[in-house]
Structure 1
Amino acid sequence: MRIWVSRPEPGAARTARRLQELGHAVLVAPVLRIAPTGAPVPEGPFDGLILTSGNAVAATEGLPRDRLVFAVGTRTAERARRARFSRVHCAEGDAGDLAALVAASLPPGRRLLHAAGEDRKAEPAASLTAAGFHIAVWAAYAARAEGALPEAAARALRDEDGPGPEIALHFSRRSARVAAELCREAGLAGAFRALKHYCLSPDVEAGLAEFGLAAHFVATRPSEDALLAGLPPPDRPDRPS
């Protein structure tokens, strides 16, 4: 299959390698880029650090490496360990799992720092606050939308370099929405609609719903493994759902 990966780096290159190993043809054309915000870290002390994305790890350079870390999933936990955090606890991949892990590990009343993105959801902070924890949210990074559809994506969707992509992978609600917006602005809304859209979660699919689109596939768990498991084999055409 010919697959468009629109997630930002460094995740896009990693996903592309996995797809190529599976035998798929890959178009890497991110519609978002990750950038640090430069926002100061809230004053502590804190009893633990919450990471809902591996994108926040780069901003934590000045934090103590022996701090207790709660990571949303395996990829984020791996990045935290590579950054030399020595006490990393890993949840099962979504914000609800992460809130449950924290609540099972620490008593209510503890203070936690959530290193998050500017564009973030209410969870896990809402559930943890309701459970009696004190959460300080630090907007450590931001996902900036590209000003226009990447040229590689525009050419591919116009079939200028041969057959274009058949599938688009969406890893976040924001990237799905931005991809749709940039395609519309480039006059390629029809080509975008014609793609089969594979989404990491129902929340990601909601980014497409804003444009009247439904996902062809939604992963049963918010993990890359579950998303890629839903892809058709590369040696036969996709089947309609």
Structure 2
Amino acid sequence: MAHVLVTRPAPAADRSAARYRAAGHQVYVAPLLAFARLDPGPDAVPPAEGLAAIAATSARGVEAALPLLSPAHYALPLHAVGEATARAARVAGFAEAHAADGDLTALAAALKAGVPAGGVVLHLAGRDRSGDLAGLLAPAGLACRLVELYAMEPIGSLPQEIRTALSAHTEPVLAPVYSRRSAQALATALAAWADRPPFRFLAISADAGEPLSDLGPVEVAKTPDEAGLLALLPG
């Protein structure tokens, strides 16, 4: 049995914690990012008639966009960064939601293959992003209309009761990270915890894990999804 610290935002943290517990591990939940909806303005989302497709890089972006979309937007093909985001789009009512292989490069490749040159892609995004989707699409003659819909605000530190519980263990604490932003928040919290136990980080991608590289060993999942992270756990 491993001791696993889950710091991704709620409600995803609780879903992940349930999966780790089902695999037989002791799990501690302490989200280090909090969702904050942004107001992009009444005219931020262009009419569907001028768009060729929608790109979504997180389920949060899909959820935050719903009040701003018309029925015509739901008829457009939506290309998601991964299956979890595509699933959120299907639940929201998009008839055509395609999942890329889990990173921005794969999403850009899917858009290049599925959208004719000259098309405009609506990017449903957060304020803090890794990578430049517009820059990846431009060489293919695709325009990208970015709409920032939410922010994930850092909480800053782990709760004292979580630190106390984790300090009671001598073996490394396993900390899965799902994004670079989450890893940066965790790195900040651990840097301020002087007497922390040893940590071993499980990263959904090399980019996501990079902010933690000075704080302990980082293992990268073979597939950029939660199944890949679960596969890194013992037992």
Same fold (TM over 0.5): yes
Unaligned runs of 5+ in 2: none
Percent identity among equivalent residues? 35
Counterpart amino acid of 1:79?
A: A
1:154 shift after superposition:
2.4
Give, in whole Å, the separation in 2 of the partners of 1:53 and 1:135.
16
Aligned: 1:55 with 2:60: yes
* Residue correspondence of structure 1 range 33-44 to structure 2 within 5 A: 33-40=34-41, 41-44=44-47
Return the alpha-carbon distance in structure 1 between the equivalents of residues 51 and 217 of structure 2: 40
Number of residue pairs the alignment of both structures matches: 226
CA distance in 2: counterparts of 1:75 and 1:158, whole angstroms: 33
Picking from 191, 196, 203, the partner of 1:199 is 203
SS at match of 1:39: coil
1:182 is aligned, of 163, 182, 189, to 189
Q: How far is the alpha carbon of 1:214 from its aligned partner?
A: 4.5
8 Å CA contact retained: 1:73, 1:93: yes
Q: What is the distance in 2 between the residues matched to 1:216 and 1:100? A: 27
Deviates more, 1:74-83 or 1:121-130: 121-130
AA matched with 2:52: D
Residue in 1 that maps onto 2:222 = 220
SS of corresponding position for 1:191: coil
Which residue number in structure 1 is paired with residue 142 of structure 2? 133
Q: Partner residue of 1:32?
A: 33
**2:82 maps to which residue?**
73
Task: Determine the C-alpha separation between the residues in 2 that align with 1:5 and 1:175.
Answer: 10
Aligned partner letter, 2:209: E
Mapped partners of 2:156, 2:173: distance in 1: 24
User: Could you tell me which amino acid in structure 2 is paired with residue 120 of structure 1?
Assistant: R
| Pairs within 5 Å for 1:98-177 | 98-159=107-168, 166-177=173-184
Give the gaps of 5 or more residues in structure 1: 234-241
Q: Which moved more, 1:46-55 or 1:176-185?
A: 176-185
Over aligned residues, Cα RMSD in angstroms? 1.9
Aligned to 1:239: none
Question: 1:151/1:66 Cα in 2 relative to 1: closer, same or farther (>3 Å)?
Answer: farther
- The residue matched to 1:107 in structure 2 has which SS? coil
Matched-pair contact (CA < 8 Å) for 1:158–1:164: no
2-structure distance, mates of 1:56, 1:81: 13
1:23 pairs with 2:18: no
